[in-house]
Amino acid sequence: MTREADYELLVAGARDLAITLDAHAAEALLRLVDELELGNAQFNLTAIRDRPGMLRKHVLDSLSLQPYLHGIRVADIGTGAGYPGLPLAIVNPQRRFTLVEATGKKARFVEQTVLSLGLGNVQVEHARAENYRPFELFDTVVARALSSLADFAAYAGHLCAPDGRLLAMKGKRPDQEIAGLPKSFRVRAVHRLKVPGLDDERHLVELSPARPKSSKQ
């Protein structure tokens, strides 16, 4: 594909997600894919090798979270090559993003990408989520690649502010996993996501910390 075709695919796909990209944001997202292509040769970051696939399955898939972000401080747990955190940071310059990744080579790649794109609203933490203790808790905690909802709540729940949200990106609706959630978190909603150009089933499970019941006197 040509650069112009990439640009048109990206802008049209974002429009389908009710996101209007200006030229600066669109170019930054295309440069993000450039960095992913270059990094893939060195670090084997993703099995998706074609640019249309990267644009749809990484960038637009990440941007499908946009309506569900809550507050200013956002954490992306197990960010891998930087998704969904980096695309969301590009279209949300007013928010602050912390991308948490336990694998050193991936964390270094994301740090390089952040520097290359000059993303001043992104911080990278090379750490396991369960061991990470930030100074401030997060309004939104997202995860795109995770094993189960119960595990997500167990290793990242402590990062969520009392009135914050945990957002878990899943494929098929995970009713069995929802049933296995600990009582410390409640399901606020399960959203069906539609990613432009993809037929794959996508769901977003929105959790929040359960408020302790006041004891009756």
Q: pLDDT digit string (tens) for 188-210? A: 999 999 999 999 899 999 999 98
The tokens for 95 are 């928010």
Average pLDDT, stretch 109-118? 96
- Can you give the pTM of this predicted structure? 0.94
Task: Identify which of 118, 61, 123, 116 has the alpha carbon closest to the alpha carbon of residue 96.
Answer: 123
The pairing of strands 202-209 and 185-193 is antiparallel
Supply angle C-alpha 168, 169, 172, rounded to 5: 115
Kindly indicate the confidence band of residue 59, based on its pLDDT and cuts at 50, 70 and 90. very high
88 within 8 A of 66, measured Cβ to Cβ: yes
Kindly indicate the confidence band of residue 37, based on its pLDDT and cuts at 50, 70 and 90. confident
What Rg, from alpha-carbon coordinates, does the chain have? Answer: 17
Structural domains of the chain ordered from first start: 3-209 (3.40.50.150)
The larger pLDDT score, comparing residue 180 to residue 47, is at 180
